[in-house]
Amino acid sequence: MADAAQAPKAGGKKPAAPPASKEEQAKNRQALRELSRKIETDHESLTAIDSNALAEVQCEANEMFEVSKQEARSAALDANLLHGVSRLGAEQAGKLDKQSPDEFVKRLLAKYGVGGGESGRPKLNFAVLANDLEAEGVFRTVPSTTFLLDSNWAPAAPKERKQRSASLAAG
């Protein structure tokens, strides 16, 4: 029977962590404060495009979450840290090189374009594109790109809603 009490709950969830002691909670709060100071002071190094330090900070915070969720003060510090990490992550993403959609299409056609369509422009060779995406491991399945197939593509018409008859509503 002791083994049954230690087994994970249905659904594969881990058993609840034992309550943290006051000392563990204090250490956890201190570590969260240090991480918060780190994201405030190392702003430039954390948001550099080639840096993964922001992910490391988030991983450290994730490891401390089991203790953080047991106490309101730790949870507030954890939420504040998560907010700071997400703000810096957005800033880091904003520093990425942005290209226009026209440039992306030009490069896509240069690599995967074949023949000429009715308009004289090359069409994409989706089989080669899909094979390259699969080889790179970008997607487990080919992404939905049906809108690129041709200019005649249109989304499916919405289905008509049927009204229930009055006899069913009265019953």
Tens-place pLDDT, residues 106-133 = 878 888 887 766 777 778 888 888 888 7
Q: Count of CB atoms within 10 A of residue 84's CB?
A: 20
Q: What is the mean pLDDT of residues 19-31?
A: 88
Q: What is the mean pLDDT of residues 6-23?
A: 65
Q: Taking 50 as the threshold, does the pLDDT of residue 2 lie above it?
A: no
Read off the pLDDT band of 150 (50, 70, 90): very low
Read off the pLDDT band of 41 (50, 70, 90): very high
C-alpha 93/C-alpha 90 separation (Å) is: 5
> Domains of the chain: which residue ranges?
17-94, 101-148
Q: What is the mean pLDDT of residues 18-34?
A: 88
Q: Taking 50 as the threshold, does the pLDDT of residue 3 lie above it?
A: no
C-alpha 20/C-alpha 26 separation (Å) is: 10
Q: For residue 92, what are the contacts with CB-CB under 8 A and spacing of at least 6?
A: 46, 47, 48, 49, 51, 54
pLDDT for the residue numbered 143 = 46
